[in-house]
A and B are shown apart, each in its own frame.
Chain A
């Protein structure tokens, strides 16, 4: 079932001539793990923010379950879509548990007390991200990668049908990068839409069910990873000659060297 879609979506910064994004048509279904590749500044984060409704599109429209995003109350959107930003700036020393509990705000209400169901969702999210032993520590005392895991746990506790993540692997150690991709694949298998921006085509090849390539504000490629994540396309995208090597269902890239 299509959870999130957009038609003719475009975005232009105020008082600037060129479009950051242009003519984006997408239909994102539940159960999909969608990877979004693109150069720095290609508009990946802007696309996620438009899909979340944080930015008002300059052209076109975003639809959540077929209904215009603008027609949804903010709390209802939050029950359907969770968002993980590129980085979290911890201003106040909330405990890790409190940070994850905030993921239940769309369900319990801003002023409401957490129910036992909320408590279970928080405990499960903490466990999934391996944060139980950090639960009573202030987030300001955690490293950047650990904070990122806290924000991911909050998004999981939100228990939304769609999860949009902006470079979630940035700042995570290698082990957690691999665990995170496995977790996102598991969430997609549970029937959620998971969409993430990434600079790691190999990880997307291994785990994503669909890969989008964003270039100069337009979707240049959209399809299964086998068709999209190819040496030819990656070479063209990143401007570096690459060769691919397939092994045991994985695809690896290495730089083509003209050594004699």
Chain B
């Protein structure tokens, strides 16, 4: 039909053609091994498996690469020794893998998947594919909380808690302000978030202005740039459980996101209580994002970009795209963190790496942006 013809090759650049070929290939493979009609169900599962394999590969790369490169065999040897499969010990490799790299990689996996799923949730709930988790002020609030803790001379744990509390406080303020605005709905939430964001950005500026320029201000700037460097087993211990639960909850809530993204009246007409489900999902996503910030500082672009890539691969249906979003976010942040600690002799803050690569990758995604989709 006309619409089909209108969308053929000329307008669809490299990305679309690449995806079209990939889809044809996947369809051929799936229809060759399964009866007709099953191919449509196979595609998301196949992409999920490929994404999982990608995560495993990125973890292996991250374990091997760094200022002290290790061969895959030496890395596997460390795990073999842990599982009592091999007798010999490689003490240096064991320290590098177990103390320096593994906790950091696990943190990247958790933070990446939580941020991506949080971003996808925000995009669906606010019915806007260009929204990221900082929409309601969680980032500015967390930055203010962390800066305040740094200025007060708090320990690393206090800074983490300050960031977490500040993030929640900012979102809470935004939600409260939105309740006082006429009309309600998504617009009131957006405006409430905008005001909350502005308040906490101003407070952050105030703290930076008052901070000691010799040591406190650099510490604040350093924290704001985001890094997984401080992530050790100790830091992972308290945050990993809640973060896994929150991310899994967001993935499980995927069908709700399909309905909420239709709009308030349509969601209500399908029997979904918008008044309950929307705040509940915002709270879940905000908690997840606040935890990631408390752990790694401000990591931009992951929450905005990764859901678009997942939609590109498996379509918009959240039941299919949320697991892929979690996997891509996890693998993507592991790779970004590996770049951050391996590209130079010193360490580039992770936030800078994700911002730079994220912005460039988003240009490619935007080429696919048609009618609000990616």
A→B interface (CB under 8 Å) = 14-15, 49, 52-54, 73-79, 81-83, 85, 88-95, 98, 102-103, 105-106, 110-111, 136, 138, 140-143, 151, 158
Contact = CB atoms under 8 A, between A and B. Distances in A.
A73 B258 CA distance: 20
B66 interface: no
Interface stretch (B145-153, B205-213, B264-272): B264-272
Contacts of A91: 127-129, 261, 372
Contact of B272 (A103, A105, A136): A105
A75 B371 contact: no
B117 interface: no
A142 B315 CA distance: 16
A79 B7 contact: no
> Which one of A89, A103, A110 has the highest number of Cβ atoms from chain B below 10 Å of its Cβ?
A110
Contacts of B182: 14-15
Contacts of B268: 52-54, 74
B249 interface: no
Contact of A93 (B127, B273, B315): B315
Interface residues of B, number: 33
A94 B129 contact: no
Contacts of A76: 271
6 contacts: A52-B269, A88-B262, A91-B127, A92-B261, A93-B371, A141-B7
A93 B373 CA distance: 6
Contact of B316 (A81, A93, A110, A142): A93
B98 to A, nearest CB: 39
Given A75-B271, A92-B316, A93-B311, 17 more contacts: A14-B182, A52-B269, A54-B264, A78-B270, A79-B271, A88-B266, A90-B371, A90-B372, A92-B261, A92-B372, A94-B316, A98-B258, A110-B256, A136-B40, A140-B370, A141-B3, A158-B270
Contacts of A105: 255, 259, 270-272
Contacts of B266: 83, 85, 88, 151
A169 to B, nearest CB: 19
B259 A110 contact: yes
B73 to A, nearest CB: 44
Contacts of B265: 49, 52, 54, 83, 85
A49 to B, nearest CB: 7
Nearest to A166: B265
Contact of B311 (A83, A92, A98): A92
Contacts of B262: 88, 102
Contacts of A143: 3
Contact of B271 (A54, A77, A89, A98): A77
B163 to A, nearest CB: 31
A151 B270 CA distance: 12
A81 B269 CA distance: 8
Nearest to A48: B265
Contact of A102 (B127, B259, B264, B373): B259
A89 B269 contact: no
A85 to B, nearest CB: 6
Given A81-B269, A102-B262, A136-B40, A110 B255 contact: yes
Interface string B238-264: 000000000000001001101101111
A142 B3 contact: yes
A20 B263 CA distance: 23
A140 B371 contact: yes
Contacts of B138: none
A95 B62 CA distance: 37
A79 B40 CA distance: 29
Contacts of A53: 268
Interface string B27-40: 00000000000001
A74 B271 contact: yes
Nearest to A143: B3
Contacts of A14: 182
A100 B7 CA distance: 24
A103 B270 CA distance: 7
B317 A98 contact: yes
B175 interface: no
A79 B264 CA distance: 17
A40 B269 CA distance: 24
A141 B372 CA distance: 11
B124 interface: yes
A146 B182 CA distance: 34
A36 B104 CA distance: 64
Contacts of A95: 315, 317
B17 to A, nearest CB: 17
A110 B272 contact: yes
Given A92-B129, A94-B316, A95-B317, A111 B255 contact: yes
A53 B274 CA distance: 12
Contacts of A15: 182
A83 B266 CA distance: 7
Contacts of A98: 258, 316-317
B224 to A, nearest CB: 32
A50 to B, nearest CB: 12
Contacts of B316: 92-94, 98, 138
Interface in B151-194: 182
A98 B40 CA distance: 12
A94 B273 CA distance: 21
Q: Report the 10 A-B pairs with minimum CB-CB distance, sorted nearest first.
A: A78-B271, A75-B271, A83-B269, A93-B373, A140-B371, A92-B316, A106-B271, A91-B127, A93-B316, A105-B270
- With most chain B CB atoms within 10 A of its CB, the pick from A54, A78, A93, A103 is A93
